Amino acid sequence: MPQLSSEPDPELAMTWLLKRKPQVKRGDFTAVIDEGSELEGKYTFSGTVMLNAKFQGEIVSTDTLIIGEKGVVNASIRAGSVVISGQVVGNIQATERVELKRTARVFGDLETPVVVIEEGVLFDGHCRMTKTEPAEATRDLSVVSFKR
């Protein structure tokens, strides 16, 4: 039977720390800013952020911003996807989509290729549907001549 030591093995602990990877499941939040928080300024992030607080300023990301029912945002927003259940005063630009859930109140313009607006939304602004960027060709489509 192997002997158990009361002394920790620093080499084993370091190996475990280096090999360990954070387990972030798809759909998990990178950050949650919840009720009771008030923020002001420019907020940039990557991943998926849930904002259920008061925010004033500018939000910039290429990923997903979710504004919860308790979220009150007075800001210009540029992100990949934006899902709103709370209140936004300001313009929203999304490269992928904007979803306005039934409790959303939006006072500002939307610019995005895809808009989803549920029944019950209060939206006061203009909506501009943009084209999605076409995916780059993955193969060469040029003509090649063959000699026989």
Q: Which residues pair with 94 in a beta bridge?
A: 79
The closest alpha carbon to 98, from 136, 125, 134, belongs to 125
Query: When comparing pLDDT for 99 and 24, which is higher?
Result: 99
Tell me the pLDDT tens digit for each residue of 13-65. 444 444 443 443 445 788 999 999 999 999 999 999 999 999 999 999 999 99
Residue 10 phi/psi, 5-degree rounding, is -60, -35
Cα end-to-end distance, the chain, whole Å: 76
Residue 28 is predicted with a pLDDT of 78
Tell me the pLDDT tens digit for each residue of 63-85. 999 999 999 999 999 999 999 99
Give the Cα separation of 107 and 123 in Å (integer): 6
The closest alpha carbon to 127, from 103, 101, 106, belongs to 106
Instruction: Report helix, strand or coil for 104.
Output: coil
**19 token code pair:** 């090999």
Chain CA centroid to CA 121, Å: 21
Q: Evaluate whether 96 touches 81 at the Cβ level (below 8 Å).
A: yes
Q: What is the pTM of this model?
A: 0.71
Strands (E), the chain: 31-33, 38-45, 48-51, 54-61, 64-67, 72-84, 87-89, 92-100, 105-107, 110-112, 115-117, 122-124, 127-129
